[in-house]
Structure 1
Amino acid sequence: MRAAAPALDRWSTATGEREILLAGPRSFCAGVERAIEIVEQALHRYGAPVYVRRQIVHNTHVVHGLSGRGAVFVEEIDEVPEGAVVVLAAHGVTPEVRLQAQRRSLRVVDGTCPLVSKVHAEVRKFAAAGKTVFLIGHADHEEVVGTRGEAPGDVLVVADPEAAERVTPPDPEQVAYVMQTTLALAEAEATAAVLRQRFPALAAPRKDDICYATTNRQHAVRDIARESDLVLVLGSRNSSNSLRLAEVAATEGVPAQLVEDAGEVELSWLAGTRRIGVTAGASAPPQLVHDLVDALSGLGSVQVRDITVTEENVRFNLPREVS
């Protein structure tokens, strides 16, 4: 019993009645639903195996589930047997990846989110007009790598306002900007504001690049954070939009933790909490939210309250290869 005492203490401090605030919208967005359906339909139409370059979306639960149904995830195109079916992930790829697939006679099904494809098109348009394109985003993120590949000699990645203060284009009169779709809106706008101030001739996209779902989930998590003692964000650590949700919650002065699932929640986080905010990144399955609520209810009675800032009814068509 003496050895078990610390664990029992942690358990007892984590128990109690609680209210759980569920942020809405949360979990899958239209682009993620489309990407997953593309792999499912490809498996149905062509049979297993269907190869997928990189993670179709940045969530380990989604990847494991599709792997169990016959999807084979690879890092690069040269790992795919010649003539096989390959799905390109939702984050987009460089033109060079498409050429590699063509050389290997692969049957390509494009899972790129239409909102990411829009940014690719903007880069091509600006570069064709002779402009240097500032790409506001994180250089190592797959979406940024793919977008930059549209015109690598004409794109400068700008990570934050500090980088925006330092960046030097060849011609300050011929510049434009685009954004990674999964950024925190406030941070991205702060970076764009610096660029606008420094470069009065700066051209902008006709419509905002930040994904509607990213913006909606950030607004929702901010609302629940203001009423919570703790915010739990469900999502994988390589998911940019999930990371941003935890960051946005933390800016409201509340502890925020990003977890893969309920199994990663530490009892010590729950000590003294009576109101817990819960959300999920755009690539996190809705079932993870239900599992987390069930787990928290095992520590005492809970009341669940939905706080929805807006309804989403966006739907993207499937590519013709699987429609």
Structure 2
Amino acid sequence: MADVIEVEGLRRTYAGGFEAVSGISFSVARGELFALLGTNGAGKTSTVELLEGLAPPSGGSVRVLGHDPYTERAAVRPRTGVMLQEGGFPAGLTVTETVQMWAGCTSGARPVDEALELVDLARRAHVRVKQLSGGEKRRLDLALALLSRPEVLFLDEPTTGLDAEGRADTWELVRALRDGGTTVLLTTHYLEEAEALAERLAILHEGRIAASGRVEDVVAAQPSHIAFELPDGYHLGDLPPLGELGVTGREVTGRSVRLKTSELQRAATGLLLWAQDSRVELRGLDVRSASLEEAFLHIAREQQREGEPVR
């Protein structure tokens, strides 16, 4: 698949010399969903604004669909959709009037009714924007971003304000768009959202990429966990040799044990076989793989400790 977003050595410096983006590089393939993550102030918004062509880079280069999105905006903008964190709609217009107004500025816009059906707002078509809930306004944001049937879709915190059902519906829609060939770049504070949707990601910290790659690879770099309570009358030394089970770390608080391992199946199987042979119950047993949230928090802490990007 050809790359439709290419970022090389990208920098963005604001007045006063503050460098929000410090020489980052990444690419996004056609039909891929790529997540750009980071703590507040990491440089996500500054990066996305450069990709959207809202400002020129201070250094490096950006290409979207083979063009510079700032200097060749006319070649890029009709083929992209942008969902900002806040839409800023005229409060007195109805939902239909808002979409009609936006469609009038969009080349080849899809029908208004179709756009509203996509985001489940058809039943609210004649309601004024000021009467919409926060979640409904986010759906309206998404409807406008999809009007042009974009080849590349930028989603900035798309499910903020949505309830669980609305978030699930949005995920389903985004997956369908990706499966239909749309390239999606997503920023989100919901790490479970990135884990559920993205194929690859980059985690920013202080303007640099601290980690990047396939989601499963970034997650797999973190240990899995097994937690349980020691059976009555047993001590940690009564367990099978933990090192032989692939356990790399342990925490013991009273009778509670928490093990870290990069070989979850091996460690869990060994413990369960020991419990079966010993005819004891491992109360409170909790076996879980690492998550993107754990990987993200680990990277953030490492960055704060080291004061420089992980290589």
Measured against the shorter chain, the TM-score band is under 0.3
Q: TM-score, normalised by structure 1?
A: 0.27
1 or 2 for the larger relative contact order (CA 8 Å, sep ≥6)? 1
Higher gyration radius (CA): 2
